[in-house]
Each structure stands twice: as C-alpha cells, then as structure tokens.
Amino acid sequence: MSASPAPIFAGRRVLITGASSGIGAAIGRRLAADGAAVMLAARRTDRLEALAAEITAAGGTAAIATVDIADRAAVQRLADETEARFGAIDVLVNNAGLMPLSPLAAGKVEEWERMVDVNLKGVLYGIAAVLPKMQAQGRGHVINVASVAAHKVFPGAAVYCATKFAVRALSEGLRMEAGPKIRTTVISPGTVATELADTITVPEVAAMIRRYQEIAIGPEAIADAVAYAMAQPATVDVNEIVIRPTAQDL
Ligand code: NDP
C-alpha cells in the first residue's frame, strides 16, 4: 500500500492578520487542515487561543500573537516573531479590517481614522514588515483581503470603500514592483456572515446591513479562494478574485 500524499500546504508558513473571527479564522482553519503552519494574529487573545487549540487538537500547527495592526512597530515584531518561530514567512494574509459604515455628514471622524489606520495602514505595515524578508528568501506571496467595496462605491460606505480601493491599488503596485518571485493576490468578498458589521454605530445603517446579511455566504468560501491562489505553481500568480453570494445584486 502506498503512503498517503503530504497535505498540499505542508511546509508552508502563513501569517494571517484578523484571525480571531470571521474570514481570518476560516482561513487559519483551512490552511492548517491542509498542512500549513499558521501564525494567527489579532487583538482578542482568548479567541486566538481557542482557535489555536482547535487547530492543534486536529493535528495542525498554529501559534498566536496578540497584535494591534495599527501599531507599526508591533506589526514588525509580529513578522520577526513569526519568522523566528517558523523559520520564514511564505505567505502573508492581510485580512484584518473593520467597517463602521456611516454617511459622511454624520462626521464620524474617529471611525474614518480607525478604518484608514487598520484597513489601509495596517496592510501597508504588513507589507513593509514582510517584503524585505520575501525578497531576501527569493519567494513569497502577499494576499490582501479587499472587498466588493474595492470595486464600487456605496452611499454610507465612502471611507470604507476608499480604504478598500486603496488596498487594491497598492496591491497592483506591489505586484509590479515586488519582482518575479513574489506573488500578489487580492481577494474581494461580497457579503460574508461574520462579525464585521458589529462596529457600525448608526442604527439605520446597521439595520440595512443586517438585511444584506440575510443572503451572506460563509467565510469558508473566502478561505477556499485563498487556498486556490496558494495552491498554484510558483510561476502562476492569481491576481484578483471577486466572490459574491449568488443572490447579491450589488
Ligand atoms: P470580523 O469582524 O469577523 O473580523 C475582523 C478581524 O479583524 C477580527 O479578527 C479582528 O480581530 C481583526 N481586527 C480588527 N481590527 C484589528 C486591529 N486593529 N488589529 C488586529 N486585528 C484587527 O470580519 P470579517 O472576517 O468579515 O473581516 C475580515 C476582512 O474581510 C476585513 O478586511 C473586511 O473588510 C473584509 N471583508 C468582509 C466582508 C464581509 O461581508 N464580512 C466583505 C468584504 C470584505 P480583533 O478584534 O480580535 O483584533
């Protein structure tokens, strides 16, 4: 009888931001189940510990880091610790984000700043921390989770869309600049059933988003897309994937 083949991502070391819930947690579960060593980063340590315990109990490899990705020095430490723990970072999944939607006239400037700090600057800090390492090792893959809101603007979502359009723009710049051995993928989900809408502070907007969420797909669909992009040969770079619920018309 022949031995069963190694899991598809055996030996791959993946740093995932926003891994304490929703899409990031689903990505962590999926990649670990397929043999990757995953570093799970976010602020809620209890959630990260529970996910890492689940992955480890299933025979996978996971470590955790409590990090606010709006803190540039902390993101650099995260990348350094991941490298020290696993030996290298093969894939960075820039997934952490928040979506406190509101009309511009509501003047929620602190919420705008937080979205810029996490959704945009957090992604930049992640790239800054791993790009030199990936260039030095001659391989790497940066996967940025954007949104359908990176492709079109919605009323009440101007600042969120601005951050996600920016993530798409910088991903394209990274793709062109990073060199022939580093892959760049942008994944743009439509409505996914997660905790993302919990940061909305305008009741009417929260109610509208709850209605959209009736058709939401599970975060495993986004994890499947990450796995698809990672599973390609090193010479194949899946640049963009947009995934919506079939019933989503926006
Ligand atoms: P969740 O709210 O479930 O997850 C967001 C994750 O980001 C959490 O793990 C949260 O962890 C983390 N996070 C937020 N702020 C920070 C921070 N400052 N530092 C570190 N981690 C942070 O929502 P989703 O899973 O839906 O969101 C994941 C990504 O998917 C986001 O970028 C979002 O914009 C994008 N997206 C989601 C869609 C959806 O419909 N759900 C659609 C399109 C895109 P913690 O609070 O523990 O720090």
Decide if 4 is inside a domain. no
| pLDDT > 70 in the chain, percent | 99
User: How many angstroms does the Cα of residue 153 sit away from the middle of ligand 1?
Assistant: 19
Known catalytic residues are 160
Domain presence at residue 8: no
Helix (H), strand (E) at residue 150: none
Query: How are beta strands 91-94 and 37-42 bridged, if at all?
Result: unpaired
What is the C-alpha to C-alpha distance for residues 242 and 185, in angstroms, rounded to an integer?
11
Domain at 40, CATH number: 3.40.50.720
Largest Cα span, the chain? 68
- Whether residue 120 is contained in a domain is answered as yes
Range(s) of the domain holding residue 71: 13-243
Instruction: Give per-residue pLDDT as tens, 199-234.
Output: 999 999 999 999 989 999 999 999 999 999 999 999
> 229 near 143, Cβ under 8 Å?
yes
Q: How far is CA 5 from CA 2, 35, 55, 206, in A?
A: 9, 11, 20, 47
Q: Give the pLDDT confidence score for residue 33 in this predicted structure.
A: 98
Total domain count, the chain: 1
User: Does residue 23 lie within any of the structural domains?
Assistant: yes
Tokens of 248: 């989503």
- Tell whether 6 is covered by a domain: no
Residue 166 lies in a domain: yes
Asked if residue 115 is part of any domain, the answer here is yes
C-alpha 183 – ligand 1 centre gap (Å): 23
Residue 1 lies in a domain: no
